[in-house]
Amino acid sequence: MDFELNDDQKLLKDSAAQFTKSSPVTRFRKLRSHGGGHGGEVVSHDRCWEPSVWKQMADLGWLGLFYPESVGGLGLSFFDMTLVLEELGKTLVPEPILASVVLAGGAVLKGASVEQQKKILGPMIEGKTSLALAWAEKDGRYDAGHVSTTAKKEGGTWLLSGEKVWALNGHAAETLIVSARTEAGISLFSVPSNAKGVAIESAKTMDGQRAARVRLSNVVLGSEDLLGTEGTGLPAIEHALDLAAAGACAEGHGIASTVLWMTVNYLQVRKQFNVAIGSFQALQHRAVDMFVETELLKSTAMLAGMKADDSDVNERRRAVSIAKAQLAAGGKRVVESAIQLHGGIGITDEHDVGLYFKRMSVLNALFGDEEHHLSRYASLPGFEGA
Amino acid sequence: MDLSFTPEQEAFRREVREFLKTEVPPHIKAKAEVDGHFEMDEVMDWHKVLYRKGWVAPHWPKELGGPGWDAAQRFLFGEELEKSGTPLLSPFGLSMVGPLIIQFGNDAQKQRFLPKILSGEEKWCQGYSEPDAGSDLASLRTTAVDDGNGNFVVNGQKTWTTYAQYADWIFCLVRTDSSAKKQAGISFLLIDMKTPGVRAVPMLTTGHTPAFCDTWFENAVVPKENVVGPVNGGWGMAKALLGHERTMIGAVGQSTRALLRVKRIASHTILNGKPLLEDGSFRTKIARLEIKLEALRVQNYRALAGAQLGHAPGPESSILKIRGSEIQQQCLELAMEVMGQNSLAWFNETDIVPAGEQWVASSFNYLRATTIYGGSNEIQRNVIAKMILGLPG
Ligand SMILES: Cc1cc2nc3c(=O)[nH]c(=O)nc-3n(C[C@H](O)[C@H](O)[C@H](O)COP(=O)(O)OP(=O)(O)OC[C@H]3O[C@@H](n4cnc5c(N)ncnc54)[C@H](O)[C@@H]3O)c2cc1C
C-alpha cells in the first residue's frame, strides 16, 4: 500500500496548482456562457475557453500527458492526468481537457490504429486542435450501446447519418469522434466538424460551459476515417467514458476541497448573534460532514484514477463506479452544505460557491449518473457474494 | 377523529377547480402547462383575475375584502391553486404587510394601503435583512432619525430584498432608538420606493433570475405617519406576523405539483427502451419522495385542524418549514436526476430539451434558498429544540 505521490507527481501537481494562479475563477466568469433567466446582460462567449491557453497547456505537456510516447504523448499514467484535473477543478479552469484529451482522446487511444492516433491526437497534443466525442443519443441515456446513427458503406466511402446530443466541446472541436452503427456493429469514425452535412448547434450548459447537438446527414467519409476495426467501437467508448468518469471524480474532489475550505473560512469570519457562526455546533457538525465526504471523495478518486486504465475490465468498472457513486452522493452533499452555510449570499450569482455547485451537479450528470453506476456495480461478477 | 372533508368542503373544492379550469387566462395557462417561469407582469395579471373574483386575499376579514372563508376553505383553496401551476402571488402585500396593517395599523393607514394591496395596484417588498443582520435580525442597523418636522430620515442598506425593483412600497424594520437594547429600538416603517434616496439594485440569483436586490437608503425622508403601531414597537409586531396562519409554509401544493412534473418527465424519458417511470428503481425513488410528501400533508392537515379550532400556530409550524423546504429541494433534485444529461441544459436556447424541462436547472439552483429564507432550517431547529423540547440554549 502506498498512497504517497512520488517526486515527479508532486512536481506535476504543483505546476498545475501554479497554473491556476493565472486562471482564477474570475477568468472562468469572463469566459462562461451566460444569460438566460431574463437576468441582466446576456454575455455569451461562443467558445467559453481560449486557444492561447490551450497552447500553454500543450507546452506543459498536459494535452498528451497519459498518451504513449509513440504517438507524441508524455507516456505518464492516467493517474497523473487526474492530478492535473483535480487542481484545475479548484478554479474552474474551462479549457476542455476532460472532454477533449480524456474523453474524445481516450476513445481514439482505445479504438484507433497507431497511425490514426498520431494523425488525430498529434495536432491536439500540440495545442492546435481540440476534439469532441459524440456518443450520446436521445433516449439512450447513459448507454453507449444505444446507437441509431448509421454508417453505410458505399464503394470506398462511408455515409453517416443521425443525431448526437450533449457532445462536450462539440461546439469548438475541429474533429468529432462519432459512434455509428455499421453492419459489423458499433464503429467509431473521425469526422471533421466542417464536413458537408454536419450541423452543430451549440447549447449552454448549467456550469457555464457549452456542449453541442450534432446532426449528421449523409456525411461522406473515406475508408481511412473508420477508426480501428469495424464493429469494435463500443468497448473503446466505454473505456473512454470510464476514464472521463474517473477524471470527473478527480475534478469533483478538487471542487469539494475548495468549497470545504471556502466554507470553513466563512464560518470563521461571518458573525451573527455577536459570535462567529462557526461557533454553533450545528454548523460545525455540518462542516465536519463536508470534510468526511471530501476525504472519501479523495480516497475514491484515487482508486478510480489508479484503476481507470486497468486492462481488467471488471476491475476498472468496479473502481470507477465506486468513485462516481461516491461523487454523486458525497459531492452533492458537500456543495449543497456549502451553500446552506453561506446563507443568502450563497444564492447569488456573484458568489463563487454557486458556480462550484453547478459544476459539481454537471459532473454528476455526466459519464453515468448515480443510478447508472449503482446498477452497473450491482451487475459486476462477484456482487452476489457467491 | 375524522380524516375527511365535509361535503360542503368538497363542494367548495370542486368550485375552485371549476374556476381554475375556466378562468385562468390563456397565456398563463400555456405557461403553467409547461411549468414555465412567470414574470412579474404575469403574476400581477393573475393577481387581478383573483381580485375580480374576490378571492385574492383569502385570509383577510370579509369587511376588508376577504371572501369570508374558514381555515379549511383557505387551505383547500391554497392547495388547489398551487397544484394548478398558476403563478404564486407575491406574498409581501397580501400575506405580510396587509395582515400587519389590519392588525396594528390605524384607520388612515388601512384606508390608504389596503385597497391597493388588494387590487394589485401597488406592489410591496420586504426590507428586513441587512448585510450584517440575517438570522440575527435584531442586530439591524438601518436608522430612522426624527427630523423634528414630522419625518424620519432613513439611512442604511437592506439586502436580499425580493423583487424590490418592481415594488412601489417597501416595509422595513428600522432602528429608531440606538440607545435601546437590540429588539427594543426597532420600528415598523412603510416607505414609498419613489422617495428620493431610495435605490434598489437587482442582483442575479444562482438560478440566473434577478429575484432580489440590494436596497439603499440615503437620507430618505419618510413621514412619521408611515410608522405602523407604536414607535420602537416594531419587533413585537414583526413577531406577531409570524404567528399568522402558517399552514402554507410547507408548500405542500407546490411540491405536489413538482412531483407531478417529475412523473411527467419520467414518462417521456427513456431508459433501456421504456419510460423511466416504469423502471423499478426510479419508481421506488419517486414513491419514497411522494410518501414523505404525503406524511407532510397529514401533518399539515393536523395544523389546519388546530387552526380551525382557533389555536394560534406555535413552534410546531417549524416542522412544516423544515420538512416542506427539504421536500421542495428534493423534488427538483429528482427532476434533474430523471432528466439525466438533459439536466445540463441551461435555458434551452436550441430547443434541446422539451419546453417543460427548460426551467428545471434554474429552479434546482434557486430552490437551495428554501432552507435559507423565512428563517433558515438551522434556526427552525433551534426553535424546536428550545420551545418544544425545552433544551437549554
Ligand atoms: C432567495 C432569497 C430571498 C430572500 N428574500 C428576502 C426578502 O424579500 N426580504 C428580506 O428581508 N430578506 C430576504 N431574504 C433573506 C433571508 O431571510 C436571509 O437570507 C436569512 O434570514 C439568513 O440570513 P443570512 O443570509 O444573513 O445568513 P446568516 O444568518 O449569516 O446564516 C449563515 C448560516 O448560519 C446559520 N446560522 C445562523 N445563526 C445560527 C444559529 N444561531 N444556530 C445555527 N445556525 C445558525 C444559518 O442557518 C446559515 O446556514 C431572502 C433570502 C434568500 C436566499
- Does domain A234-379 fall under CATH 1.20.140.10? My reply is yes
Please tell me the class of the B125-234 domain: mainly beta
Q: Which residues line ligand 1 (CB under 6 A)?
A: A 270, 272-273, 277, 280, 282-283, 340-341, 343-344, 347; B 125-129, 134-135, 160-162, 212, 369, 372-373, 376, 378-379, 382
Q: Is the pLDDT of residue B206 over 90?
A: yes
User: Which amino acid residue places its CA nearest to atom 38 of ligand 1?
Assistant: B135
A-B contacts at Cβ under 8 angstroms: 155
Pocket test for ligand 1, best of B373, B377, B379, B391 (most atoms within 8 A of CB): B373
What percentage of chain A has pLDDT greater than the value 90? 94
Atom index in ligand 1 nearest the CA of residue A344 equals 25
- Write down the pTM of the prediction: 0.96
Instruction: Check: CB of residue B159 under 8 Å from CB of residue B203.
Output: no
Q: CA B104, B106, B109, B114: dihedral to nearest 10 degrees?
A: 60
Instruction: Give the pLDDT mean for B307-334.
Output: 88
Residue B240 is predicted with a pLDDT of 78
Q: How far is residue B172's CA from residue B175's CA, in Å, rounded to a whole number?
A: 10
Residue A41 is predicted with a pLDDT of 44
Q: What is the pLDDT of residues A13-69, one digit of tens each?
A: 999 999 999 999 999 999 998 665 554 444 455 889 999 999 999 999 999 999 999
Nearest to B343 among A39, A365, A375 (CB): A365
Q: Which CATH number is B249-387's, of 1.10.3720.10, 1.10.1660.10, 1.20.140.10, 3.10.310.10?
A: 1.20.140.10
B336 touches chain A (CB under 8 A): yes
Q: What is the pLDDT of residues A276-302, one digit of tens each?
A: 999 999 999 999 999 999 999 999 999
Q: How far is residue A367's CA from residue A364's CA, in Å, rounded to a whole number?
A: 8
Nearest to A166 among B204, B206, B344 (CB): B344
The Cα-based distances of B23 to B18, B29, B87 in angstroms read 8, 9, 14
C-alpha cell at B293: 410528501
B163 touches chain A (CB under 8 A): no
What percentage of chain A has pLDDT greater than the value 70? 97
**Cβ–Cβ of A206/B345 closer than 8 Å?**
yes
Q: What residue type is B280 in one-letter code?
A: G
pLDDT band at residue B339 using 50, 70 and 90 as cut-offs: very high
Q: Is the pLDDT of residue A220 over 70?
A: yes
Radius of gyration of chain B (CA): 22
**Cβ–Cβ of B206/A349 closer than 8 Å?**
yes
In this predicted complex, what is the ipTM? 0.95
- Which residues 232-271 of A have a C-beta within 8 angstroms of B? 271
- Which residues 41-80 of A have a C-beta within 8 angstroms of B? none
Nearest to A348 among B203, B364, B371 (CB): B203
pLDDT band at residue A80 using 50, 70 and 90 as cut-offs: very high
A305 touches chain B (CB under 8 A): no
Residue A45 is predicted with a pLDDT of 57
Q: Is the pLDDT of residue B392 over 70?
A: yes
Nearest to A347 among B206, B282, B361 (CB): B206
Q: What is the pLDDT of residues B57-82, one digit of tens each?
A: 998 999 999 999 988 888 889 888 88
The Cα-based distances of B95 to A343, B91, B99, B102, B371 in angstroms read 24, 5, 6, 11, 20
Residue B31 is predicted with a pLDDT of 87
Q: Which CATH number is A134-231's, of 2.40.110.10, 3.40.50.300, 3.30.460.10, 3.40.50.620?
A: 2.40.110.10
User: What angle in degrees, to the nearest 10, is found between the helix axes of B107-119 and B40-53?
Assistant: 110
**Cβ–Cβ of A357/B368 closer than 8 Å?**
yes
Residue B36 is predicted with a pLDDT of 79
pLDDT band at residue A337 using 50, 70 and 90 as cut-offs: very high
User: Which amino acid residue places its CA nearest to atom 16 of ligand 1?
Assistant: B373
Instruction: Check: CB of residue B189 under 8 Å from CB of residue B144.
Output: yes
Instruction: Give the pLDDT mean for B118-135.
Output: 97
Residue B244 is predicted with a pLDDT of 62
Q: Please list the residues that pair with A220 across neighbouring strands.
A: A159
Residue recorded with cell 430547443: B351
Instruction: Give the pLDDT mean for A140-148.
Output: 96
A204 touches chain B (CB under 8 A): yes
Q: How far is residue B65's CA from residue B54's CA, in Å, rounded to a whole number?
A: 7
**Superfamily of domain covering A7-39+50-128:** Acyl-CoA dehydrogenase/oxidase, N-terminal domain (1.10.540.10)
SS3 state at B79: helix
Domain parsing of chain B, residue ranges: 7-89, 125-234, 249-387
Between B245 and B25, where is the model more confident? B25
pLDDT band at residue B253 using 50, 70 and 90 as cut-offs: confident
pLDDT band at residue B247 using 50, 70 and 90 as cut-offs: low
